[in-house]
Amino acid sequence: MALIKNEIPILEYDTDSQAVIMPGHHWDYKFCEKAVMLFMESEIEDFVKTHECEVVGKFESVTKIFYVYKTVHSGMEIVFVQAPLGGASSVQIMDQLIAGGVKQIIATGCCGALVEGAEGEFFVPTVALRHEGTSYHYLPPSREIELDEKPIQAIETVLNRAGFYYAKCKTWTTDGFYRETKEMVLYRKEEGYSVVEMECASLAACARKRGVTFGQLLFTADSLANINEHDIRNWGNDTFAVALQLAMDAVVEV
């Protein structure tokens, strides 16, 4: 075990996996191995109303309770939970799922487009830029993190089966929503990043640290393809419910 120090605090890293406070320290939930993390709300409520679901856990934060539901999808038990915006908060949920026994996780949510295209197009990230802070608490410093191949293939399988166009991509994970400047957006586009979001690198790092499998399905909401005009479009609202179903299909395939 080693504490690696650095003049820049975000680049400091402790190789010890044991922390003073560990996920699951105040409860004893037991979950099935497959989980879906959903960056949405009303679509979850609609799904719970129209499907047989059971509350099997709850994670309490200072602002909200996140309920963990269990359902049977394609003959297989899975759990699903709303994921909060941002790497730090969503990783807390992931870490608690893992502490309860989850081993395969698919997340889905919207992203900003850096390339021209229609609203609601699907992207499957293969690499995430670590332009946030949370991932540096889980893995040593690096510019990018590669995502696991098996869930990428599972997501591709369900998208192909459903007949959806999609693209594999590099994603820019940031924790500075209001610091996506024109020069920074141009820089990321030149580097080959197709979309921008706020969780993928963080979640991938947590999963890698904990030894579980993780993949993410993204769909475009707003667009930064034209740096002179931020086009909010309809924030991807017509795609959330479809993405929920695809994520559940994908986790079964993993």
- The domain spans of the chain are 30-253
Question: What CATH number has the domain spanning 30-253?
Answer: 3.40.50.1580
Say whether pTM exceeds 0.85: yes
Query: CA-based Rg of the chain, rounded to a whole angstrom?
Result: 18
Q: What is the pLDDT along the chain (254 residues), one digit of tens a residue?
A: 799 999 999 999 999 999 999 999 888 899 999 999 999 999 999 999 999 999 999 999 999 999 999 999 999 999 999 999 999 999 999 999 999 999 999 999 999 999 999 999 999 999 999 999 999 999 999 999 999 999 999 999 999 999 999 999 999 999 999 999 999 999 999 999 999 999 999 999 999 999 999 999 999 999 999 999 999 999 999 999 999 999 999 999 99
